[in-house]
A and B are shown apart, each in its own frame.
Chain A
Amino acid sequence: MDIVVCIKQVVAGDRVKIDPRTYNLVRSAEFSYINPLDLFAIEMAVQLKKEQSATITAVTMGPQISEEVLWEALTLGADRAVLLSDPRFSASDTLATSYVLGMGIRKIGKFDLILCGMRTTDGDTGQVGPQLAEELDVPYISAVEKVKGEKGSFRVERVSDGFREIVEVSVPALFTISSKTAVRLPSLIAIQDTFTRNSIECWNLEDLNADPDKVGRAGSGTWVEGLTPTAQKKSCVLIEGDPRQQARILLSKLLEKNLLS
């Protein structure tokens, strides 16, 4: 089975800086890491590889420094890593990103399964997964917790609105993964082997044979018109009285705000 895992480098939450002119994220290697939700997708791929033979290719689109997350994916069990990088890809919204990822996956060639995280912790749109499925014209299932590969199809479990759904889908397909498996750390041997045996393939616009009008700002259906920070107002209320009274007041306030239902 050939599995492609799409991952993204995100900036640590408290280090997010926005370019005041372009409204794009300012990235720095030091405070960037793999989108935590993508780790579940990698883990799912590794699990499937354990159950049946599979090749895992990790793909990301981003500037050169985002190859760091590809190295991480390799240490966690990916077999191959592809960086889609070109200055013309910058300022891509989710639509343009999905197009670039789609072109990358077309160039990779054969795939049975594409796995993505549910969303990223920086952009937070959750759109790339479904848009990529649309781009490649494959069936898409969101919030998948379990995958079982059968001949020519997958049986997957997803949880939605309090129901556990079991869905059967034909190959190839794209899933976004929401399992909450414990994060596994790579061993030193895995890290050592990754850096001595692997390399990162880097493809630009020409390598992908991509249409320049469909990438970057030109290929984006949306762009950020303005950005103003919203201050979260926090205020501290001191509850007085003896402990019993305090507890009663606290309880009534929580109920009033509908926080206990």
Chain B
Amino acid sequence: MGRQFAKMELAPIAKEIDEEGRFPWEAVEKMGSLNLFGIQAPRQYGGAETDSISYCLVIEEISRVCASMGLMLAVHNGVVVHPVSQFGRDEQKAKFLSPLVAGEKIGAFCLTEPNAGSDAMAIESTALKEGDSYLVNANKIFVTNGGVADILIIFTSVDPGNVKKGFSAILVERGTPGFEVGLLENNCGMRANPVSSIILNDCRVPKTNLLGQEGEGFKVAMAALDNGRIGIAAQAVGIAQGALDASLRYAKERIQFRVPLSQHQAIQLMLADMGTMVEAARLLTLNAAHVKDRGGDLSGPSAMAKLFAGRAASKVASMGVQIHGGYGYSKDYPIERYFRDARATEIYEGTNEIQQIVIARELLKRGEE
């Protein structure tokens, strides 16, 4: 279904929405009716409650054709719907989860600030208690889905003097007085995703919007990211597969020295390496999904999957450009889009270096067997 949907609805617009930097609302409603906004969410709230393997396959197939929409879904499902399902109280789930799962509302995850990102504890955002509400101030940047999000998880501190103690997750709705969508980022890839800054200026939010407990924000963020990384890994696998698809097609079409490129050994060697990297990335990703489904410790496997798949996507797309030669550098072929899109998967939801820290920590913790 994911593959057919991507082929029918996204393939015809992927190039155009990338060039125009346009969010394709026309596809969103259809994705909602196919349950793509609540892939793993509980049935009770309208979700499909699939396992993580199915989740990866859907994200991969969408990203294979349109990485911007793969990203939109991976963030919405992986780091918004998932933590709200996991940490939300029943009344929060009824209020926030149902419209998110139906695709009537789009979610965003707001951790990064000008001086915080990989270093989450450096956030400067504050949420001061005032009666039944929090007065939230925040300057969040690089917010995926920011320009279209209705329900946002804001990471902030309820104790400005002690961020570690006060680190909390609060659900904020677009339209709350003091809520403002800042400028859209002019990114090199993922251009159909309205990545923006989000500014909260004395935004009054009811205390009932606190996700988890006060001081539990770091736990919420890390659980969301451990899970989200599987989605981003699947997205990277999709981009890599898409780049390989485009390269295989081109290598069979393009004639040089009177034979198709695909008959030149130099090209075959590249294709073989690309295919192997895609498959290895896919298996690591599905392994992380499998660990999650079994209820195992996710941090190491999901970090490994994201690290490897992100690198594979960049490398495969870059080799794809090489196979395309001059046409690979031109906007006339889709490979340059894969090349631009792939690069982001090594940066967001934890850079490669952060994944390496997580992986090393897990390895060292485990020690010798």
Q: Which residues of A contact B (CB under 8 A)?
A: 75, 183, 185-189, 191-192
19 further interface pairs, Cβ-Cβ under 8 Å (given A188-B36, A188-B48): A75-B1, A183-B8, A185-B1, A185-B4, A186-B34, A187-B34, A187-B35, A187-B48, A188-B34, A188-B35, A188-B39, A188-B50, A188-B54, A188-B58, A189-B43, A189-B48, A191-B48, A192-B49, A192-B54
Q: A187-B33, A187-B34 are in contact. Are A192 and B4 (CB under 8 A)?
A: no
B5 part of interface (Cβ distance < 8 Å): yes
Please provide the chain B residues from 34 to 61 with a CB less than 8 Å away from any CB of chain A in the complex. Answer: 34-36, 39, 43, 48-50, 54, 58
Return chain B residues, CB-CB under 8 Å to A186. 1, 34
Cβ-closest 3 pairs across A and B: A188-B48, A188-B35, A189-B48
Return chain A residues, CB-CB under 8 Å to B4. 185
Write the nearest CB–CB distance from B233 to chain A, whole angstroms: 20
Write the nearest CB–CB distance from A48 to chain B, whole angstroms: 22
Q: Can you pick out 15 interface pairs between chain A and chain B where the beta carbons lie within 8 Å of each other?
A: A75-B1, A183-B8, A185-B1, A185-B4, A185-B8, A187-B33, A188-B34, A188-B35, A188-B36, A188-B50, A188-B54, A189-B43, A191-B1, A191-B48, A192-B48
Return chain A residues, CB-CB under 8 Å to B36. 188
Write the nearest CB–CB distance from A14 to chain B, whole angstroms: 12
Closest to B55 in A: A188
Bound complex: CA of A192 vs CA of B1, how far in Å?
Answer: 12
CB-CB contacts of B96-118 with A at 8 A, as 1s and 0s?
Answer: 00000000000000000000000
Return chain A residues, CB-CB under 8 Å to B58. 188
Return chain A residues, CB-CB under 8 Å to B50. 188, 192
Bound complex: CA of A192 vs CA of B49, how far in Å?
Answer: 8
Write the nearest CB–CB distance from A6 to chain B, whole angstroms: 22
Return chain B residues, CB-CB under 8 Å to A192. 48-50, 54
Return chain B residues, CB-CB under 8 Å to A183. 8
Please provide the chain B residues from 81 to 133 with a CB less than 8 Å away from any CB of chain A in the complex. Answer: none
Which among B5, B54, B58 has the greatest number of chain A C-beta atoms within 10 A? B54
Return chain A residues, CB-CB under 8 Å to B43. 189
B: number of interface residues (CB 8 Å): 15
Bound complex: CA of A75 vs CA of B5, how far in Å?
Answer: 15
Write the nearest CB–CB distance from B360 to chain A, whole angstroms: 36
Write the nearest CB–CB distance from A19 to chain B, whole angstroms: 26
Bound complex: CA of A188 vs CA of B41, how far in Å?
Answer: 11
Return chain A residues, CB-CB under 8 Å to B35. 187-189
Return chain A residues, CB-CB under 8 Å to B33. 187
Closest to A182 in B: B8
Please provide the chain B residues from 278 to 314 with a CB less than 8 Å away from any CB of chain A in the complex. Answer: none
Which among A75, A188, A189, A192 has the greatest number of chain B C-beta atoms within 10 A? A188
Return chain B residues, CB-CB under 8 Å to A191. 1, 48
Write the nearest CB–CB distance from B142 to chain A, whole angstroms: 29
A185 lies within 8 A of B34 (CB): yes
Write the nearest CB–CB distance from B208 to chain A, whole angstroms: 29
Write the nearest CB–CB distance from A247 to chain B, whole angstroms: 26
Return chain B residues, CB-CB under 8 Å to A185. 1, 4-5, 8, 34
Bound complex: CA of A186 vs CA of B4, how far in Å?
Answer: 10
Bound complex: CA of A195 vs CA of B4, how far in Å?
Answer: 19
Bound complex: CA of A7 vs CA of B4, how far in Å?
Answer: 19
Write the nearest CB–CB distance from B62 to chain A, whole angstroms: 12
Bound complex: CA of A189 vs CA of B36, how far in Å?
Answer: 10
Bound complex: CA of A188 vs CA of B55, how far in Å?
Answer: 10
Bound complex: CA of A101 vs CA of B295, how far in Å?
Answer: 46
Write the nearest CB–CB distance from A206 to chain B, whole angstroms: 36
Write the nearest CB–CB distance from A69 to chain B, whole angstroms: 14
Closest to A75 in B: B1
Bound complex: CA of A186 vs CA of B5, how far in Å?
Answer: 10
Bound complex: CA of A163 vs CA of B4, how far in Å?
Answer: 34
Bound complex: CA of A75 vs CA of B48, how far in Å?
Answer: 13
Write the nearest CB–CB distance from A172 to chain B, whole angstroms: 33
Which among B5, B48, B58 has the greatest number of chain A C-beta atoms within 10 A? B48
Write the nearest CB–CB distance from A184 to chain B, whole angstroms: 10
Write the nearest CB–CB distance from A71 to chain B, whole angstroms: 12
Bound complex: CA of A174 vs CA of B367, how far in Å?
Answer: 69
Write the nearest CB–CB distance from A29 to chain B, whole angstroms: 15
Return chain B residues, CB-CB under 8 Å to A189. 35, 43, 48
Return chain B residues, CB-CB under 8 Å to A187. 1, 33-35, 48
Bound complex: CA of A117 vs CA of B71, how far in Å?
Answer: 38
Closest to B3 in A: A185
Write the nearest CB–CB distance from A238 to chain B, whole angstroms: 18
Closest to B40 in A: A188
Return chain A residues, CB-CB under 8 Å to B5. 185
Closest to B9 in A: A185
Return chain A residues, CB-CB under 8 Å to B48. 187-189, 191-192
Bound complex: CA of A189 vs CA of B39, how far in Å?
Answer: 9
Bound complex: CA of A42 vs CA of B58, how far in Å?
Answer: 24
Write the nearest CB–CB distance from B32 to chain A, whole angstroms: 10
Return chain B residues, CB-CB under 8 Å to A75. 1
Which among B1, B4, B8, B39 has the greatest number of chain A C-beta atoms within 10 A? B1
Bound complex: CA of A185 vs CA of B32, how far in Å?
Answer: 12
Bound complex: CA of A208 vs CA of B8, how far in Å?
Answer: 40
Bound complex: CA of A186 vs CA of B30, how far in Å?
Answer: 11
Closest to A72 in B: B1
Write the nearest CB–CB distance from A10 to chain B, whole angstroms: 16
